[in-house]
């Protein structure tokens, strides 16, 4: 598979595009006015401890207090060693290849508090200082999520000062190779210094390189700890690396054909970094100096523009409808204009297989997280349903974020989850429409006219007799002129006072204003209740 990274840097925005076989699969955007917190380490002050949900709120200096669950506290691991065989560590150690790198690798299995761990109220008290790391950005009405199980990411290793074991990324498939890497790192890890995860790009790294990076990460943690002696909570102790450097650190390897950069400054930063950690990759970094923009040359600007559309077309003629909601994201698969030839089951299978591939790509591209429900076209045979599920899981395996897809349900749905560390592109790059407030719908002109009628009747019922000016959106006024010419006469007869209609292009499409002409007083809120 051909893999490329394109980096376009400007003064107010840096965009990173990841392409697989010349197709855009991932987009990351960094702007100076929107701080990226994931991976940052703070000394925070406990605001509140909630035993009922085994969680605490920690002030780290953000607008909303951060959420800390009991499963993310640091406990004595030695007490649990007798209960664990160590093999499951591999299944838990892929946080290094997640959407951000640090902050995810040290979580305990399943996010659950150990059965023998003390309740959170026995560990934390209000007003207590605690070192935490951000694992999820503030999303919607929720503040950031943090963990006390801090981790520091290097290129080849993730160092976890509060852990005590060596894990290996499960994306390194061979068990023998994982065991070799585990033993290699155990040989250079100082006793009682912490735990380590070997990252996917560390597969072919020498013992000396592991040792050098480990010493760097341990020294970095010691500097962070020293800062806590004079820092007053809440305070930032460590800032995660920049977007471009993080991408190079986490993704760039021999499996990536090239990195193209359109900024001389960013190009030099990447080259200087690679000279220290992976000099063999320097030749794969290219400075783009063309007249057309880098993204235009790669023909991906159109795809970026289409990120926010509900409809996503498939090659066969079918299409997806992607609907984000507060609780989950629903994806509906439709056959569209594709009708196949003879066998309807084969037709449906082909559309569903295409949809499975596109669903996995769209989730990465839109950076959608949380609960996702996919409604594929119903299939008769279990073999075909399993084939679609396998196709979906296969393409989700390319995702850097942790994903999990469950078997097809009795209703023919595939339910899945995707790791969410920040707002989706839809949430971060758009805002609700001021007219429809995010519903995507506005009242029809006829509905608006009926609301005006009810408002005028309310005024008449209260005995009001002052002349009234009704301001309408031009399209609604046109509807009155063309469809309800007798409206004004009819309303004046019912109300018993003069009425005047006037269009106002400054109003929203489903908005109107009731103004008492003599006093110029707006009474819309008083009478237009429905």
Alpha helices in 46-104 (DSSP H): 89-92
Note whether 218 and 192 are within 8 A (CB).
no
Please tell me the predicted confidence (pLDDT) of residue 472.
Answer: 93
Is the per-residue pLDDT at 361 higher than 90? Answer: yes
Alpha helices in 52-115 (DSSP H): 89-92
Please tell me the predicted confidence (pLDDT) of residue 116.
Answer: 64
Q: Could you give the maximum distance between any two Cα atoms of the chain, in Å?
A: 94
Is the per-residue pLDDT at 255 higher than 90? Answer: no
The mean per-residue pLDDT over the stretch 264-273 comes to 91
Is the per-residue pLDDT at 466 higher than 90? Answer: no
The mean per-residue pLDDT over the stretch 243-258 comes to 87
User: Distance between CA 454 and CA 362 in Å, rounded?
Assistant: 46
Classified as helix, coil or strand, 94 is helix
Please tell me the predicted confidence (pLDDT) of residue 83.
Answer: 34
Give the chain's count of helices (H) and strands (E).
Answer: 15, 25
Tell how far CA 247 is from the center of its chain.
Answer: 16
User: Distance between CA 285 and CA 274 in Å, rounded?
Assistant: 10
Is the per-residue pLDDT at 98 higher than 50? Answer: no
Reading the block at residue 8, the tokens are 């376009």
Inter-helix orientation angle 445-461/474-483, to 10°: 80
The mean per-residue pLDDT over the stretch 255-263 comes to 90
Q: How confident is the model at residue 172 (pLDDT cuts 50, 70, 90)?
A: confident
Note whether 501 and 470 are within 8 A (CB).
yes
User: Distance between CA 516 and CA 495 in Å, rounded?
Assistant: 14
Higher pLDDT, 201 or 261: 261
The mean per-residue pLDDT over the stretch 343-362 comes to 90
The mean per-residue pLDDT over the stretch 145-154 comes to 92
The mean per-residue pLDDT over the stretch 251-266 comes to 89
User: Distance between CA 289 and CA 8 in Å, rounded?
Assistant: 11
Reading the block at residue 271, the tokens are 């080259």
Q: How confident is the model at residue 89 (pLDDT cuts 50, 70, 90)?
A: very low
Please tell me the predicted confidence (pLDDT) of residue 173.
Answer: 74
Tell how far CA 504 is from the center of its chain.
Answer: 40
Reading the block at residue 70, the tokens are 């009991």
Task: Give 284-316 pLDDT, tens digit per residue.
Answer: 999 998 888 899 888 888 888 888 889 999 988
Note whether 439 and 324 are within 8 A (CB).
no
Q: How confident is the model at residue 100 (pLDDT cuts 50, 70, 90)?
A: very low
Q: How confident is the model at residue 340 (pLDDT cuts 50, 70, 90)?
A: low
The mean per-residue pLDDT over the stretch 115-122 comes to 79
Please tell me the predicted confidence (pLDDT) of residue 92.
Answer: 38
What single DSSP character describes residue 519? T
Reading the block at residue 52, the tokens are 């009922």
Backbone angles phi, psi at 14, to 5 degrees: -120, 130
Q: How confident is the model at residue 420 (pLDDT cuts 50, 70, 90)?
A: confident
Higher pLDDT, 243 or 389: 389
Is the per-residue pLDDT at 417 higher than 90? Answer: yes
User: Distance between CA 474 and CA 480 in Å, rounded?
Assistant: 10
Classified as helix, coil or strand, 237 is strand
Q: Rounded to the nearest 5 degrees, what angle is found at the Cα of 348, between the Cα atoms of 345 and 353?
A: 120
Q: How confident is the model at residue 506 (pLDDT cuts 50, 70, 90)?
A: very high
Three-state helix/strand/coil letters over 108-160: CHHHCCCCCCCCHHHHCCCCCEEEEEEEECCECCECCEEECCCCEECCCEEEE
Is the per-residue pLDDT at 198 higher than 50? Answer: yes
Classified as helix, coil or strand, 58 is strand
The mean per-residue pLDDT over the stretch 23-31 comes to 90
Least confident stretch, 71-80, 173-182, 312-321, 403-412: 71-80
Strands in 10-117 per DSSP E: 14-20, 23-30, 41-50, 55-59, 66-69
User: Distance between CA 231 and CA 43 in Å, rounded?
Assistant: 8
Please tell me the predicted confidence (pLDDT) of residue 338.
Answer: 67
Is the per-residue pLDDT at 121 higher than 80? Answer: yes
Chain length of the chain: 530
User: Distance between CA 37 and CA 423 in Å, rounded?
Assistant: 12
* H or E, element range at 168: strand 166-168
Please tell me the predicted confidence (pLDDT) of residue 109.
Answer: 37
Reading the block at residue 267, the tokens are 């190009």
Please tell me the predicted confidence (pLDDT) of residue 147.
Answer: 93
The mean per-residue pLDDT over the stretch 474-483 comes to 92
The mean per-residue pLDDT over the stretch 363-389 comes to 91
* Mean per-residue pLDDT over the chain, rounded: 85
The mean per-residue pLDDT over the stretch 41-62 comes to 92
Please tell me the predicted confidence (pLDDT) of residue 108.
Answer: 41
CB proximity list for 488: less than 8 A, separation 6 or greater: 480, 499, 501
Question: Residue 371 class from Cβ within 10 Å (0-12 exposed, 13-18 middle, 19+ buried)?
Answer: middle
The mean per-residue pLDDT over the stretch 110-117 comes to 55
Is the per-residue pLDDT at 416 higher than 70? Answer: yes
Share of the chain above pLDDT 90, in %: 37
């Amino acid at each position: 598979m051909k893999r490329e990274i394109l980096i376009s840097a400007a003064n107010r925005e840096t965009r990173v595009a990841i392409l697989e076989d010349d197709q855009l699969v991932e987009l990351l955007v960094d702007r100076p006015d929107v701080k990226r917190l994931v991976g940052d380490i703070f000394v925070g002050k406990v605001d509140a401890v909630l035993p009922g949900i085994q969680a605490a709120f920690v002030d780290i200096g953000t607008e909303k207090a951060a959420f800390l669950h009991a499963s993310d506290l640091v406990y004595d691991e030695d007490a649990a060693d007798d209960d664990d065989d160590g093999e499951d560590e591999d299944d838990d150690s892929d946080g290094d290849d997640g959407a951000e790198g640090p902050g995810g690798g040290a979580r305990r299995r399943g996010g659950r508090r150990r059965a023998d761990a003390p309740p959170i109220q026995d560990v934390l008290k209000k007003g207590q200082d605690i070192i935490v790391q951000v694992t999820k950005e503030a999303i919607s009405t929720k503040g950031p999520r943090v963990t006390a199980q801090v981790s520091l990411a290097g290129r080849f290793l993730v160092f976890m000062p509060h852990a005590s074991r060596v894990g290996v990324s499960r994306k390194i498939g061979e068990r023998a190779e994982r065991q070799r890497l585990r033993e290699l790192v155990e040989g250079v890890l100082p006793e009682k210094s912490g735990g380590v995860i070997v990252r996917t790009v560390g597969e072919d790294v020498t013992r000396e390189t592991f040792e050098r990076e480990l010493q760097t990460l341990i020294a970095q943690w010691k500097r962070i700890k020293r800062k806590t002696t004079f820092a007053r909570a809440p305070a930032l102790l460590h800032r995660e690396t920049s977007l471009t450097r993080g991408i190079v650190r986490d993704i760039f390897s021999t499996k990536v054909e090239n990195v193209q950069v359109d900024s001389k400054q960013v190009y030099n930063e990447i080259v200087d970094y690679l000279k220290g950690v992976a000099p063999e990759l320097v030749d794969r970094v290219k400075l783009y100096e063309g007249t057309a923009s880098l993204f235009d040359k790669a023909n991906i600007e159109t795809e970026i523009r289409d990120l926010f559309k509900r409809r996503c077309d498939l090659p066969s003629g079918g299409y997806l409808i992607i609907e984000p909601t507060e609780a989950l994201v629903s994806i509906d698969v439709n056959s569209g204009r594709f009708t196949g030839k003879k066998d309807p089951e084969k037709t449906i299978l082909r559309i569903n297989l295409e949809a499975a591939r596109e669903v996995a790509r769209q989730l990465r591209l839109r950076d959608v997280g949380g609960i996702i429900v996919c409604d594929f076209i119903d299939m008769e045979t279990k073999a075909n349903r399993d084939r679609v599920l396998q196709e979906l899981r296969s393409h989700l395996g390319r995702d850097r974020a942790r994903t999990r897809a469950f078997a097809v349900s009795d209703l023919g749905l595939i339910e899945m989850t995707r790791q969410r560390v920040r707002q989706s592109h839809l949430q971060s790059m758009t805002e609700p429409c001021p007219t429809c407030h995010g519903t995507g719908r506005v009242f029809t002109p006829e509905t608006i006219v009926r609301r005006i009628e009810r408002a005028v009747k309310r005024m008449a019922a209260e005995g009001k007799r002052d002349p009234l000016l009704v301001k309408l959106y031009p399209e609604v006024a046109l509807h009155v002129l063309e469809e309800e010419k007798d409206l004004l006469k009819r309303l004046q007869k019912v109300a018993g006072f003069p009425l005047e209609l006037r269009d106002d292009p400054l109003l929203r499409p489903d908005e109107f204003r009731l103004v008492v002409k003599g006093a110029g007083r707006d009474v819309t809120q008083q009478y237009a209740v429905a």
